[in-house]
Chain A
Amino acid sequence: MDRVGAIPRSAADRTGCINIRALPLQLLLRRHPEWKQRPVAVVEQEKPQSPLLWVNAPAGRAGIRSGMRYASALSLDRDLCAGTVSEREIREAVRQVHQLLNRFSPRVEPCEDEPGIFWADAGGLDKLYGTLEAWARQIDLHLSRLEFSASIVIGFSRFGSYALAKAERLVTVLPSPEAEQAQSRRVSLLHLQLDPRLRDRLEKLAIHTLEDLLGLSEAGIQRHLGEQARDLYRLASGELSRPLQPQSIPQPLRSRMDLNEPDPNAQRLLFRIKQLLDPLLRAAAERYQAAAALQLQLRLENGTRHHQRIQPARPTLEVSVLLDLVRLRLERVSLCAPLLELRLEVEAVGVSAETRNLLQRNPRRNTEAALQALARVRAEFGPDSVLSARLKPGHLPEARWEWRPLHGLTPATPRPGPIRPLVRRAHARPKPLDRKRPPGLEPLLGYLISGGWWNREVRRDYRFVNTDRREVLWVYYDPQGRRWYSQGRVE
């Protein structure tokens, strides 16, 4: 447990704990504001047997509790709305709140175990905001603008403020460490995030509050209730404390160059990009990262903007590789006015030190060379220029394959089939034939495809027909549209 805290050495140290209560539920309601007055629950998965993780007050009033299955909850209230909240959404929300809190305190620590809990160093901020309560209310105001509701407790220790923030619903400023200690000890253990098994055990032993817990001996707790209960005891008693560990939000690898004089020379652009790129790649290397793509933004004197994304074959720290791709791309771009501003951002991904070393060596294998070549094609003609056809299990000819971007190359392993198939060239889209009957002679062979009744019913009566020019056409009749179409031809 890292909600560590104790009575601080100095009463001037002030720690604020911000608790965005039931963060996933708030995120779900932010996504569906129309649900606000209705019973709502966050479910683990979109399945009837999925357990409810969080429920709002209207759901609670209907007797719905977290831990229930969605199906059971639905039998209590048919109006129950439910949805999932992904880890990614939660991470993004934490990042957003972290960023906001950084505007109010330079030292902010998000709780890793409990997303939605933040500690902020409030020391001395009363001087800036008049009072600490004013500081807290400002935070509360800004959080509400982000549609978050929170309880904020300004205390003296991490644990004390945390325990009270979990139990309180308002902005609270504690006057003294002693008051914090006295109030936090009255906090019900049900409010704290404990292992459900431990919480159940404590409840059975009539240990309802931190004060009840502190009434036992530490050794007894360790022996009978385990490590987590012992840690809780030590936190509550003040024996265990840890200073605030502020975390900074990683800054993007971004750089910008404003030209005092608009530069009409496109050749010099590459050198300017190199100037920006070198330090960005060094910064990436220090973070054990490499460039997976470059975002290049050009603002011209006439106000037009150009945006290019250039992706190397693999994440790299090689300036020359990246500049080569940039050059190829820029050769396809004609700048209609002198350059005014240049922005460059490196999309970096993490790589191990070992990989980083490898990235800086020259590739030897042909596959690598092929990938480099494809990257160059992509750089020159755009990201959609390198595609591969993938087979799909559909019945209609156009549903039997699709084009997908090619990200990698694997050696081909062709296997000869029992029958050499005829090559059919299909049109990108079936072409309607002008005449009512297909051209040519009697049909050779035919087959029927019908289906899609659940969406848009399709019925095609296919024929292979000989034409006057001794071609074999691949046509079909659509009885609904009452016309013939050419699907392609047979070679």
Chain B
Amino acid sequence: MTEPAPAPNRPYVPLWCKSNYSFLEGASHPEEVVDACRQKGIPALALTDRHGVYGMVRAHVRARQQGIHLIAGAQISLREGAEILLLVRDEEGYRNLCRLLTDGHLRSSKGKCSLNGQAVCGCSRGLLALWIGPLDPRASPEAAFEPLLGQFKAAFEDRLYILLARHRRAEEILPEIQLRKLARRFSLPTVAAVEILYHVPERRRLQDVLTCIREGATLTTAGRLIRPNDQHALKSPEELARLFNDDPESVRRTLEVAARCSFSLQELRYRYPLESLPEGKTSSQHLRDRTFEGAARRLGKKFHGLIPQLRKELDLIRELEYEGYFLTMHEIVEYCRRRHILCQGRGSAANSAVCFALGITSVDPTQVDLLFERFLSRERAEPPDIDLDIEHDRREEVIRHVYEKYGRDRAAMVANVVRYRRRSAIREVGKVLGVAATSLDRLAKLVSHDHCNAEFIRQAGLDPRNPALLHLTSLVEEIQDFPRHLSIHPGGFLLGHRPVHDLVPIENASMPGRTVIQWDKEDVDQAGLFKVDLLGLGALTHLHLCFDLLQRHRQRELSLATMPKGDPSTFEMICRSDTVGVFQIESRAQMAMLGRLKPRNYYDLVIEISIVRPGPITGGMVHPYLRRRNGQEEVQYPHPSLIPVLKKTLGIPLFQEQVMQLAMVAADYSPGEADQLRRDMAAWRRSGRIERHRQRLVTRMVAKGIQPEFAERVFQQIRGFGEYGFPESHAASFAHIAYATAYLKCHYPAEFVCALLNAQPMGFYSAATIVNDARIHGIEVRPVSILDSHWDCSLVEIEGAPEESTQFAVRMGLRYVKGLGREDWRRLAEAARQAPFRNLPDLARRSRLHQDKLEALAEAGAFECLGLDRRGALWQIQGLTTEPRPLLPLAGRDPLPRFPALSGLETILWDHRASSHSSRAHLLKPLRPALKAQGLPTARQLNRMPNGRLVRYAGMVICRQRPGTAGGVTFMTLEDETGFVNLVIWKQTFERYSLLAKTLSCMGVTGNLQVAEGVTHLVVRKIWKPELEKGSLHLKSRDFH
């Protein structure tokens, strides 16, 4: 806390201040307003955001640092047409304010709050009310509000004031006279105020812009929607005294009001909800019992080795009174288990043996050396953060369970504050400035994360001297990080032992039935509240589906827990980079790394997952690690004391935890300081925070005998990590799922593919690539068929298949037919259950499917099983609707014309158009003779060629990427019927061929092969359009994600 500012001669307290958390109204961050108070020597501040306490936590944290007394409050627009301020006196008042706001929000649609005077008067205890008056004094004279004011007087008694606000507006002169009359009539004291919308007058421009965004107007058409002057900045005490020189008593009374409001957010007493406990047991005992039972069950004999760690953790949990939180997580996990929903904890929780024992995480603490302090520390005294991954298509069930168990008043989802970023700012601010929408679109597409300045405007082909664009550049920078509106956090829940709306107001989210609190994740952390994160993960759905298929078709019971460990053939497959569909290690970059890192065990997978991240890449850690791993470089440590920290990664820090440990061991950071270092690394947007640690780290390391240049290098590595450093605990959780999916791909490829197709959308690759990969692995994939396909893809036993080969083929499901919905499938299935379909008219009549749906099925070839080719089926379908349906099914009366049969290529193209994949063949298969005639190799042939060879190659583009860490290099993956080819395109080459590079689906490239450590890349020199059979080879690729 800083020293208090010197007291001014004529102090006052701003009682009406709206930060930018009064969305699209206030034009300063809460922290800026607090800082400005400190600078002007103002001792206290009331934050009264409109209908909420959205910015209260941030203001509270900053006010504590600055020694400012923060008064909690809110501005309320009453349904009767008047405005009031409510200020919190004590805890009861805060509770009443939150309840009131919750009530107003929940009875309204998202973002709105509807309250009347009666509701406010009903929650008056612990609150002060400051009467502002009618919204439009000309439309509603003050006299009309006399009954309402009387009601307020009765409810608030001596806690009601008349607020006199002056902004040197022509329109406020007469209303003030009216307000003074009312004050006299009701014997109410008056207080002086300015409606503060920004901390400095320079923000007035931004406030005008925000108003226009809110009202959907432009500056030139906004008229009186925007304020007439810049008198809404925070006034110094002298300025306010001058403004109210005729009424010093009202100014003085602001101090009296502030003195009556003694509440601070620190007073919030939050306890985590207690689970129902067995009779006679405390929560601590119950948690201990559950933990030891679980540890014994999961670890068997190894359990005893873990007892000291479990005791240590349980003692700390008891000391911090966090038992309820762990029991809740355990209850949710148990619920998932009962419902056969796969779930797994991730994040720092994987550092905890208790979490493992309770079944929350799957990382065996006896296998991996984890840092418990990263998860929970006495010094930090912050609630632990457990993220629980749940099968993505069943997460909703778990969320419903939480709502049902805790009730809507004790469980609410955490908000996600949507903030302005450059792109959104350009679009919205530019529109307000009247810049043409098409120009804005161009600017928004070109803008980088770093800047929006005159040079950028010039690069975009626009005139930087244009005044509107000049304003745009500065305003876009100013509006950065401004909150725009609330949305919902993907899975964060706030649970409370008492109603959540006593802690923070709850409002409706846009999703029906979903409610959200007014604070985001950071606010919840800062306020010391417990959050439960329930996140959806597609890979768990994939695993579950695969386990089900194994059980159904092979009677093999398999689960994450019973998965055979350390399977050599699985790791062989991983080393071959044969990982399409394998969780976390399937991307182009991961595949390239697999060939170099060659993981041989579980911990190698943990490293593999962590190393292909921007942190280690930009920190320059990848190559040294690989050289050391391959024995090309000696393993060195900066200091002997760091050997325990860095040994497992050969002297190179790869994980976030290592950075923390490094700071603790080498620079004597306390666990709390180390955690702060982690947070500062994460706060990359507020650049500079990491620099605070430089001197401390380097000095202390040098003092411990580490060479200064080495200390500096370590710091540079830490800085390079930025937010991208991956926690080991996180990687350890993911590696578990990665191994499981790899094992299934290796041993049960048909089940793996079938489950993966049914779990879509997820992962890195499209269905077309997954199907092609399956084909390459010898799995038969059968096309959709109206008689044989289900909604999902299914396994079909191959008759007469030898035992040692794949025994199942995959039958594509009707879910892959574009335009067909699950309800259509239900109709079809219902009709088919009654009697088999005899022909197409029979099917159409009994299923009552719309013509569009029938055509979609026809185009996908689903009627071929009825002896109808696609064109014939289309012709029949188009004839079905032009005549009334016969009472009895009749065969078509006109003969079926003979349409040309589809060629092989056409068939595949139709497949792609109708179902985004082809089970027949890869698109390039029928074109291979033509490609071969041009001397073009297949991917398989190319990947066997030697380093340096100049080659020409053509393939389908499946992925275009330009990572921010690659210095403008673009990576692409091309695919053909035999596999992938990875391209590296330097910036100049990409720019030279940018049109072809961005638009071609089937791309031809010329370049040199770069083969290193068994990994092949084609470094592109030229891009060209292959000469192919006429017809569009246009497929959707995964571009620049």
Binary interface profile of A, 370-395, with partner B (CB < 8 Å = 1, else 0)? Answer: 00000000000000000000001111
Chain B residue contacts of A216, Cβ below 8 A: 897
In Å, the complex CA distance between A223 and B875 comes to 10
Q: Are A70 and B897 in contact (CB under 8 A)?
A: no
Chain B residue contacts of A392, Cβ below 8 A: 223
Nearest CB in chain A: distance from B856 CB, A: 12
Q: Are A451 and B224 in contact (CB under 8 A)?
A: no
Number of interface residues of A (CB under 8 A): 47
Closest residue of B by beta carbon distance from A393: B223
Q: Is A357 on the interface with B (CB-CB < 8 A)? A: no
In Å, the complex CA distance between A76 and B1039 comes to 13
Q: Is B1030 on the interface with A (CB-CB < 8 A)? A: no
Q: Are A418 and B141 in contact (CB under 8 A)?
A: yes
Q: Are B228 and A395 in contact (CB under 8 A)?
A: yes
Q: Of A257-265, A292-300, A302-310, A440-448, which binds chain B?
A: A440-448
Q: Are A46 and B437 in contact (CB under 8 A)?
A: yes
Q: Are A76 and B438 in contact (CB under 8 A)?
A: no
Q: Are B168 and A448 in contact (CB under 8 A)?
A: yes
Chain B residue contacts of A206, Cβ below 8 A: 871, 899-900
Chain A residue contacts of B437, Cβ below 8 A: 46-48
Which of B138, B223, B859 interacts with A394 by CB under 8 Å?
A: B223
Q: Is A74 on the interface with B (CB-CB < 8 A)? A: yes
Q: Are B441 and A224 in contact (CB under 8 A)?
A: no
With contacts A63-B999, A447-B173, A455-B467 known, is A78 near B879, CB below 8 A? no
Q: Are B441 and A48 in contact (CB under 8 A)?
A: yes
Q: Is B471 on the interface with A (CB-CB < 8 A)? A: yes
Q: Is A282 on the interface with B (CB-CB < 8 A)? A: no
Binary interface profile of B, 851-872, with partner A (CB < 8 Å = 1, else 0)? Answer: 0000000010000000000110
Q: Are A226 and B882 in contact (CB under 8 A)?
A: yes
Q: Is B950 on the interface with A (CB-CB < 8 A)? A: no
Nearest CB in chain A: distance from B830 CB, A: 28
Q: Are A205 and B438 in contact (CB under 8 A)?
A: no
Q: Are A74 and B170 in contact (CB under 8 A)?
A: no
Chain A residue contacts of B223, Cβ below 8 A: 392-395, 399
Q: Are A419 and B174 in contact (CB under 8 A)?
A: yes
In Å, the complex CA distance between A103 and B1039 comes to 56
Nearest CB in chain A: distance from B897 CB, A: 6
Q: Are A447 and B169 in contact (CB under 8 A)?
A: yes
Chain A residue contacts of B204, Cβ below 8 A: 453
With contacts A204-B871, A445-B173, A449-B229 known, is A48 near B440, CB below 8 A? yes
Q: Are B226 and A76 in contact (CB under 8 A)?
A: no
In Å, the complex CA distance between A479 and B977 comes to 76
Nearest CB in chain B: distance from A489 CB, A: 16
Chain B residue contacts of A423, Cβ below 8 A: none
Chain B residue contacts of A63, Cβ below 8 A: 995, 999
Chain B residue contacts of A205, Cβ below 8 A: 871, 874-875, 899
In Å, the complex CA distance between A395 and B223 comes to 7
Which of A71, A417, A445 interacts with B441 by CB under 8 Å?
A: A71
With contacts A205-B875, A217-B894, A224-B878 known, is A77 near B995, CB below 8 A? yes
Chain B residue contacts of A453, Cβ below 8 A: 204-205, 208, 471
Q: Is A75 on the interface with B (CB-CB < 8 A)? A: yes
Nearest CB in chain B: distance from A175 CB, A: 32
Closest residue of A by beta carbon distance from B461: A78
Nearest CB in chain B: distance from A183 CB, A: 22
Closest residue of A by beta carbon distance from B432: A454
Q: Are A455 and B220 in contact (CB under 8 A)?
A: yes
Classify the interface of chain B: helix, strand, loop or mixed.
helix
Closest residue of A by beta carbon distance from B205: A453
Nearest CB in chain A: distance from B13 CB, A: 24
Q: Are B897 and A220 in contact (CB under 8 A)?
A: yes
Nearest CB in chain A: distance from B1001 CB, A: 11
Contacting residues of chain B (199-226) with chain A, CB-CB under 8 angstroms: 204-205, 208, 219-220, 223-226
In Å, the complex CA distance between A205 and B441 comes to 40
With contacts A46-B437, A205-B871, A454-B433 known, is A75 near B445, CB below 8 A? yes
Q: Are A48 and B438 in contact (CB under 8 A)?
A: yes
Binary interface profile of A, 76-113, with partner B (CB < 8 Å = 1, else 0)? Answer: 11110010000000000000000000000000000000
Closest residue of B by beta carbon distance from A222: B882
Q: Is B231 on the interface with A (CB-CB < 8 A)? A: yes
With contacts A223-B879, A418-B141 known, is A451 near B225, CB below 8 A? no
Closest residue of A by beta carbon distance from B859: A204
Chain A residue contacts of B874, Cβ below 8 A: 201, 204-205
Contacting residues of chain A (3-62) with chain B, CB-CB under 8 angstroms: 46-48, 62
Q: Is A138 on the interface with B (CB-CB < 8 A)? A: no
In Å, the complex CA distance between A82 and B441 comes to 13
Chain B residue contacts of A419, Cβ below 8 A: 138, 141, 174
Q: Is A409 on the interface with B (CB-CB < 8 A)? A: no
Chain A residue contacts of B899, Cβ below 8 A: 205-206
With contacts A63-B999, A205-B874, A205-B899 known, is A220 near B894, CB below 8 A? yes
Nearest CB in chain A: distance from B940 CB, A: 30
Q: Is A128 on the interface with B (CB-CB < 8 A)? A: no
Q: Are B224 and A393 in contact (CB under 8 A)?
A: yes
Contacting residues of chain B (319-347) with chain A, CB-CB under 8 angstroms: none
Q: Are A224 and B461 in contact (CB under 8 A)?
A: no
Which of A76, A215, A224, A449 interacts with B875 by CB under 8 Å?
A: A224
In Å, the complex CA distance between A81 and B876 comes to 45
Binary interface profile of A, 179-219, with partner B (CB < 8 Å = 1, else 0)? Answer: 00000000000000000000001001110000000011101
Q: Are A62 and B438 in contact (CB under 8 A)?
A: no
Contacting residues of chain B (407-456) with chain A, CB-CB under 8 angstroms: 433, 436-438, 440-442, 445-446
Closest residue of B by beta carbon distance from A77: B995
Q: Is B312 on the interface with A (CB-CB < 8 A)? A: no
Q: Is A360 on the interface with B (CB-CB < 8 A)? A: no
Q: Is A144 on the interface with B (CB-CB < 8 A)? A: no
Chain B residue contacts of A215, Cβ below 8 A: 897
Closest residue of B by beta carbon distance from A71: B441
Closest residue of A by beta carbon distance from B910: A204
Which of A75, A225, A450, A454 interacts with B471 by CB under 8 Å?
A: A454
With contacts A76-B995, A224-B875 known, is A446 near B168, CB below 8 A? yes
Binary interface profile of B, 453-488, with partner A (CB < 8 Å = 1, else 0)? Answer: 000000011000001100100000000000000000
In Å, the complex CA distance between A445 and B170 comes to 9
Q: Is A462 on the interface with B (CB-CB < 8 A)? A: yes
In Å, the complex CA distance between A288 and B291 comes to 94
Closest residue of B by beta carbon distance from A204: B874
In Å, the complex CA distance between A223 and B995 comes to 45
Chain A residue contacts of B679, Cβ below 8 A: none
Binary interface profile of B, 624-666, with partner A (CB < 8 Å = 1, else 0)? Answer: 0000000000000000000000000000000000000000000
Q: Is B1013 on the interface with A (CB-CB < 8 A)? A: no
Q: Is B604 on the interface with A (CB-CB < 8 A)? A: no
Q: Are B173 and A74 in contact (CB under 8 A)?
A: no
Chain A residue contacts of B879, Cβ below 8 A: 220, 223-224
Q: Is B883 on the interface with A (CB-CB < 8 A)? A: yes
Contacting residues of chain A (438-482) with chain B, CB-CB under 8 angstroms: 445-451, 453-455, 462
Nearest CB in chain B: distance from A155 CB, A: 29
Q: Are A462 and B170 in contact (CB under 8 A)?
A: yes
A sample of 19 cross-chain residue pairs with beta-carbon separation below 8 angstroms, ordered by A number, consists of A46-B438, A47-B437, A48-B437, A70-B438, A71-B441, A82-B438, A204-B859, A204-B874, A205-B875, A206-B899, A224-B875, A224-B878, A418-B138, A418-B141, A447-B173, A450-B229, A454-B219, A454-B433, A454-B471
The 7 closest A-B pairs by CB, nearest first: A393-B223, A48-B441, A418-B141, A447-B170, A448-B168, A224-B879, A63-B999
* 5 more A-B residue pairs beyond the given contacts A78-B461, A455-B219, with a C-beta to C-beta distance below 8 A: A201-B874, A223-B879, A224-B876, A449-B170, A453-B471
Which residues of B come within 8 Å of A, CB atoms?
138, 141, 168-170, 173-174, 204-205, 208, 219-220, 223-226, 228-231, 433, 436-438, 440-442, 445-446, 460-461, 467-468, 471, 859, 870-871, 874-876, 878-879, 882-883, 894, 897, 899-900, 995, 998-999
Which residues of A come within 8 Å of B, CB atoms?
46-48, 62-63, 70-71, 74-79, 82, 201, 204-206, 215-217, 219-220, 222-226, 392-395, 399, 417-419, 445-451, 453-455, 462
